[in-house]
Amino acid sequence: NYLANSKDGFSDDRVIHVMTMHSAKVLEFRAVHVFGAEEMRHHPFNRTKLAYTTVTRAKTALNVYWTGPMRAAIEAAFAELKHIELDDIFPG
């Protein structure tokens, strides 16, 4: 859940919030999922700051998903890399 007051357009009763990495600044969440992280390779400015800001939004859990080449510095920061197939996420 979002940990600020609802005057910012969020309400505490919502379980999932979808937003860009830039709009997550100064916010904090119990769990953060980053999809398409390989796109950070193409971000022209402040890639390291953007990655730092993004991953530090998570209080207890961070999952990052990518399908293409990743920046080596970001990939090396993860303790455990695990390959996941789409069928593992959505069986059947």
pTM above 0.85, yes or no: no
CA distance 65 to 10: 25
Residue 4 has pLDDT above 50, yes or no: no
pLDDT reported for residue 11: 61
Condensed to tens digits (0 to 9), the pLDDT of residues 46-91 reads 677 778 888 888 888 888 888 888 777 777 777 666 777 777 777 7
CA distance 52 to 70: 15
User: In this predicted model, which residue has the larger pLDDT, 4 or 40?
Assistant: 40
Provide φ and ψ at 59, rounded to 5°: -85, -45
What DSSP assignment string belongs to 5-43? -GGGS--TT-S-----TGGGTT--EEEEEE--GGGGGG-
pLDDT reported for residue 27: 86
